[in-house]
């Protein structure tokens, strides 16, 4: 099912939809090309899958291309990704040659003639070499660039500086650059299986099938089994809170079979949980969107105790379900949670335990946090806001071109 724009009116109001249509009229016929490195899997592809049809509905001539590359290229771009995130990785001369060679191959096969070219992340960044005169190029960075490995950033920087604008998800993710920088947070789709309303029976049957007791308080963290998401810290916090409050803990994460570290973290969680029947460590396939939706809705409190984070979409997903969220004050999470207003920000295991206990004991306050969180997401992190921001950026870039003509 692909819902059209009108289907979003019940969430954001008619006026928002009309505003989008007005912006669309100003951009009618403009040709926009999105390019990323995968058609399926990952947040970028998920967002483009929804944004592209909606941009088309608004009259913007939008297409989406995916670059092609071999295993070696993707190994290099994964290394670049990790280095930009600050992990100690360096690039060899061979790596650089592989990156340049694949860029050249894609330059030969991709038509790059649209008015606006929107390049997502570092993999296709080198395509700027094929820029047509008069076109506008945007580099959309989904990565936290606040502390990259200097040599890898120096490799990418001259390429990024050739763009008209760079888009980041959070202010602290950006670098000092001589080009325009724009803050555009990601978004969630309220109509997706992950977020749409579910009836009570579906929720209960999923919760029961996972071995949880629907009648008792449930504390949940949804995330990959990654040390930076601190699942062991969540178990410690639960244990501290459990001394005072009856509750169950659910750690639910994607399949970790192709990630050796993920598998190790999953095993550690299972070992750490072995002596407590109320701790449930569950591995789900990446397609388990309705299951994730159901466990988020069934939870009394959601935790996202990340030590480092990108934007943290799980927080937006939980807040949209009007749930009280306790989350680490890292990455994009403080954009989503104002402490004690739309959720709770914590820095330690003890702090997380304290707030689990507090929220289990104060259901009215917890409900308040959740309601405020849902409104915050409604205004800031739904797909319609994302669409508007992109269209405003397109208009701004068009205006840039016009003012150059006027000044000349």
Residues found near ligand UDP in the complex (CB under 6 A): 43, 194, 222-224, 252-254, 284, 286, 292, 310-314, 317
Task: Give the count of beta carbons closer than 10 Å to the beta carbon of residue 404.
Answer: 10
* 79 or 128: CB nearest ligand UDP: 79
Residues 6+ apart with CB under 8 A from 270: 281
Number of residues that this document lists for the chain: 408
Q: What's the min distance (Å) between Cβ of 216 and ligand UDP?
A: 22
In 3D space, the residue among 268, 266, 273, 280 whose CA is nearest the CA of residue 225 turns out to be: 266
Neighbouring C-alpha atoms within 13 Å toward the C-beta of 321: 28
> Closest CB to ligand UDP among 194 and 376?
194
CB-nearer residue toward ligand UDP: 24 or 231? 231
CA distances, 198 to each of 47, 202, 251, 293, 319 (Å): 22, 7, 21, 8, 15
The CA radius of gyration of the chain, in Å to the nearest whole number, is 22
13 vs 43 by CB, closer to ligand UDP: 43
311 versus 390: smaller Cβ distance to ligand UDP: 311
Q: Is 383 exposed, middle or buried (0-12, 13-18, 19+ CB in 10 A)?
A: buried
Task: Compute the least distance from the CB of residue 183 to ligand UDP, in Å.
Answer: 17
Quote the least distance from Cβ 247 to ligand UDP, whole Å.
21
Shortest Cβ 350–ligand UDP spacing (Å): 24
Nearer to ligand UDP among residue 253 and residue 328 (C-beta): 253
Q: Which is nearer to ligand UDP, 224 or 388 (CB)?
A: 224
Give exposure, 248-260, as e/b (b: 16+ Cβ within 10 Å): bbbbbbbbbeeee
Shortest Cβ 212–ligand UDP spacing (Å): 15
Q: Which is nearer to ligand UDP, 107 or 192 (CB)?
A: 192
Least distance between ligand UDP and beta carbon 68 (Å): 24
Rounded to whole angstroms, what are the CA distances from 82 to 5, 90, 92, 144, 212?
36, 10, 15, 10, 36
Give 136 or 376: the residue with its C-beta nearer to ligand UDP: 376
Task: Output phi, psi for 236, to 5 deg.
Answer: -60, -45
The tokens 């790059």 sit on which residue?
112
What are the residues facing 188 on neighbouring strands?
382
Is 391 within 8 Å of 58 (Cβ atoms)? Answer: yes
- Structure-token pair, residue 20: 């989008």
Q: Edge-to-edge strands of the sheet including 165-168?
A: 61-66, 31-36, 116-120, 136-140, 165-168, 180-183
Closest approach of ligand UDP to the CB of residue 85, in Å: 10
Distance of CA 227 to the CA centre of its chain: 18
Identity of the residue, 27 or 344, whose beta carbon is nearer to ligand UDP in the bound complex: 344
Largest CA distance in the chain: 74
**Residue labelled with tokens 């004050």:** 329
Query: Using CA atoms, how far apart are residues 10 and 8, in angstroms rounded to an integer?
Result: 6
């Amino acid at each position: 099912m692909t819902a059209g724009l009108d289907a979003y009116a019940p969430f954001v109001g008619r006026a928002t939809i009309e505003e989008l249509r007005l912006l669309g009229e100003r951009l009618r016929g403009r040709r926009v090309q999105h390019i990323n490195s995968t058609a399926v899997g990952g947040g970028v592809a998920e967002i483009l899958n929804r944004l592209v049809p909606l941009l088309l509905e608004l009259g913007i001539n939008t297409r989406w291309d995916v670059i092609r590359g071999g295993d070696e290229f993707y190994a290099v771009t994964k290394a670049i990704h990790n280095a930009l995130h600050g992990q100690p990785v360096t690039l060899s001369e061979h790596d650089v040659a592989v990156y340049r060679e694949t860029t050249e191959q894609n330059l030969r096969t991709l038509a790059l003639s649209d008015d606006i070219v929107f390049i997502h992340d570092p993999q296709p960044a080198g395509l700027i070499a094929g820029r047509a005169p008069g076109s506008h190029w945007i580099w959309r960075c989904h990565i936290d660039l606040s502390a990259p490995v200097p040599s890898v950033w120096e490799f990418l920087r001259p390429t990024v500086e050739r763009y008209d604008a760079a888009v980041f998800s959070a202010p602290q993710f950006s670098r000092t650059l001589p080009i325009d920088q724009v803050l555009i947070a990601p978004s969630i789709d309220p109509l997706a299986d992950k977020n749409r309303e579910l009836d009570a029976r579906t929720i209960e049957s999923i919760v029961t099938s996972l071995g949880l007791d629907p009648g008792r308080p449930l504390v949940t963290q949804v995330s990959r089994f990654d040390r930076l998401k601190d699942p062991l810290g969540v178990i410690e916090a639960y244990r501290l809170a459990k001394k005072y409050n009856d509750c169950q803990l659910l750690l639910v994460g994607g399949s970790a079979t192709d990630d050796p570290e993920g598998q190790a973290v999953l095993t550690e969680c299972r070992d750490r949980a072995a002596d407590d029947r109320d701790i449930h460590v569950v591995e789900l396939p990446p397609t388990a969107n309705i299951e994730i939706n159901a466990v988020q809705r069934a939870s009394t409190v959601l935790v996202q105790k990340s030590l480092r984070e990108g934007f943290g979409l799980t927080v937006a997903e939980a807040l949209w379900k009007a749930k009280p969220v306790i989350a680490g004050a890292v990455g994009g999470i403080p954009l989503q949670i104002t402490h004690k207003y739309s959720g709770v920000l914590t820095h330690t295991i003890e702090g997380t335990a304290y707030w689990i206990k507090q929220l289990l004991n104060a259901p009215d306050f917890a409900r308040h946090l959740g309601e405020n969180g849902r409104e915050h997401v409604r205004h800031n992190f739904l797909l319609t806001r994302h669409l508007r921001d992109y269209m405003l950026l397109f208009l701004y870039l068009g205006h840039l071109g016009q003012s150059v003509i006027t000044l000349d």
